[in-house]
Amino acid sequence: MTFYVARETSKIWRRITTELTVELQHLSEKWKFILAGLIFQYIHGLAARGVHYLHRPGPLLQDIGFKILPELGKERGYISESLFSFIFFSFFLWTFHPFIFHSKRFYTVLIWCRVLAFLVVSQVLRIFTFYSTQLPGPNYHCREGSKLAVLPRPENVMEVLLINFPRGVIYGCGDLIFSSHMIFTLVFVLTYQKYGSKRIIKHMAWLVAILQSLLIVASRKHYTVDVVVAWYTVNLVVFFVDRKLQEMPDRSVSSPGVLLPVSLRDKDENHRMLNGTSLETNDRRGRSQVNGKTLDDGAHLGSEPTMNGK
């Protein structure tokens, strides 16, 4: 038993180190793109912080979702955030599963490049939208009488730049259309829909996305229009941006026992092994033997005539 555990641990460790080497190669090529995407996450948070200074509380707008869905209340508002945290961390861990499991359909660095591209385009549209018109926030801390509904004028630039993370994000107001939670949720679900391998998880992911939408409205964190706009906007963004990006190589076509072919010859050999052939077999097919001589080009020579006609 101890020998088996040690052997499997050694295999996993070799797999992780080999995968890390491959991913670092991709990271050395894509690090500027990854860094730009991460920096924009801060810019998006800064924009959400800025619109909070413009927010003015007012009466809640008429909303069909508020009439249909029962209000969860302050004490149960954590349910929506808990589900979103589950979605976020589940997707994050799934993108790193090639470091451990044999099934490797994508490279972690490359898939995060695509995810960040989807997020950035969606967030740019979101910033333009919520700065165009500020709606009175439906969340409890954004309503009239709450001290957090209106932010006092900042005393210095650093007060704005620090964005009071994470409290400033959780208790933000004014950045309503469209829902940031639904941007992340739909980008993650659409990405798994394309690169995931478990059909049952794909179906469950869509159900979870629908549940997340209902909980956001029931928690009164967004109006129904914020969720509806997110559904068709994010889907369109992913559809068009994905067509512009270069398609990722499908790693599932390689041999399960090889993490990354070191050359085209190795890759061809892996395919031949999967098909039940080998390089030696193919080499023998391309050769013929005449009078004890082997010809590499496969050409056939006629018999040499002799004096006695034999």
Q: Assign 276 to helix, strand or coil.
A: coil
- Residue for token pair 């208790």: 171
260-307 pLDDT, tens digit each = 443 344 445 444 434 444 444 444 444 444 444 444 444 444 444 444
* Mean pLDDT of all residues in 154-162: 81
Q: What is the mean pLDDT of the chain?
A: 80
Q: How confident is the model at residue 153 (pLDDT cuts 50, 70, 90)?
A: confident
186-244 pLDDT, tens digit each = 999 999 999 988 899 999 999 999 999 999 999 999 999 999 999 999 999 999 999 99
Q: Assign 98 to helix, strand or coil.
A: helix
DSSP state of 164: T
Q: How confident is the model at residue 19 (pLDDT cuts 50, 70, 90)?
A: confident
Please indicate, yes or no, whether the overall pTM of this predicted structure exceeds 0.85.
no
Q: Which of 26, 52, 181, 250 is catalytic?
A: 181
pLDDT of residue 298: 43
26-57 pLDDT, tens digit each = 899 999 999 999 999 999 999 999 999 999 99
Q: How confident is the model at residue 66 (pLDDT cuts 50, 70, 90)?
A: very high
Contact 51, 131 (CB under 8 A): yes
181 annotated active-site:
yes
The percentage of the chain sitting over the pLDDT mark of 90, rounded to a whole number, equals: 52
pLDDT of residue 102: 64
Copy the structure tokens of residue 18.
């080999």
Q: Using the Cα atoms of residue 24, residue 89, residue 85 and residue 180 in order, give the sign of their dihedral.
A: positive
Q: Which of 226, 250, 266, 296 is catalytic?
A: 226
Q: Within 55-142, where are the H helices?
A: 64-68, 78-95, 108-132
- Which of 135-149, 153-167, 176-190 is most confident? 176-190
pLDDT of residue 113: 95
Q: Which of 44, 52, 55, 222 is catalytic?
A: 222
Number of helices (H), then strands (E), belonging to the chain: the values are 11, 2
Query: Hey, which residues does 63 pair with through a beta bridge?
Result: none
Q: Which tops the pLDDT comparison, 167 or 25? A: 25
242 annotated active-site:
no
pLDDT of residue 179: 95
CB-count exposure of residue 46 (10 Å: 0-12, 13-18, 19+) = middle
Q: At 228, which helix (H) or strand (E)?
A: helix 224-244
Copy the structure tokens of residue 155.
């005393």
203 annotated active-site:
no
